[in-house]
Structure 1
């Protein structure tokens, strides 16, 4: 903005020179007898005018070009960033089977040495089947004694409810459940949870 003002001042200065000379036609004599030239015929006045006008316009045009270059550069950068984000989004877009596989592997690490973890399509559930002696005995006790009020069973079912929340968040599969399978009959479940809520509990619901 300041360079445009600088150029405008230069133009006003030129106009002022001619008007001044027009309004003061009488030439002034110096002490040595020479006649003083009109302002518009003096070299230094034109130097001032050229510096103001050319300098102002040149700098203003240069800044405008820089702004255009910067705008183009910013636009290119934003476009590149969007393209990279789009590529990254595509890269992490997994199929249903891949999401299930990743979640099963995650839960296998949690129950390593304690239970077998798999996905059963017919049930739309990630199944947990006890394999270790201690885990098996604890769930079998619930089957035989119906002790659904024990602290161990509450802790286990709370853990499974939390696991069902994570299972949905990780897979984004509607109605996916986490099922605790009867180790003595793998076609039966002892407990199921879906998105943090109990959907079946053998200790309370019975057979």
Structure 2
């Protein structure tokens, strides 16, 4: 599903050249449940931006679902993001004036899916994440855990190759965190490839594999038994 080989990332700041990622190599197979972990400044967020096709100014190889990302133009990268990757963010990134159903429909709208089909698919994924009775509720009428479920439904609606979640439990209480991680576990058991970028040990423990970054390098890559 994902192949990263000899990847280097540099940031230029005036005359300074910061080596943010150093010769990174790893693969993620279809159906894996992976945590990318590390402290602030470790390189995990930079790695997430590359995995999410938000940044393609790097050296080395990145192949996503048989597509070589480094050779794509901006317009092609945008299509890849919409079709191949479902994003889940710490701050939910829901539009406050739209209902849960309308928020989930947005990726389908951008893909040009007809209104009736959009509504049908959005309802189905909201029911899948346990929010079939909250379709018309706006974000401010939902709890933090429910908002994150809407965000996960939005990430799922285009049937992407991978779900990429950035600190998805960072704004949640401990009960909601457990519920969201249980949802990710169930989605993974149904065959979804899930990558979670996090600094929280409990989230890492819930995943089946941990890739740990420090100072721009992978220092540990461990699968749980």
TM-score normalised per structure 2: 0.21
Structure with greater helix share of residues: 1
* Larger radius of gyration between Structure 1 and Structure 2: 1
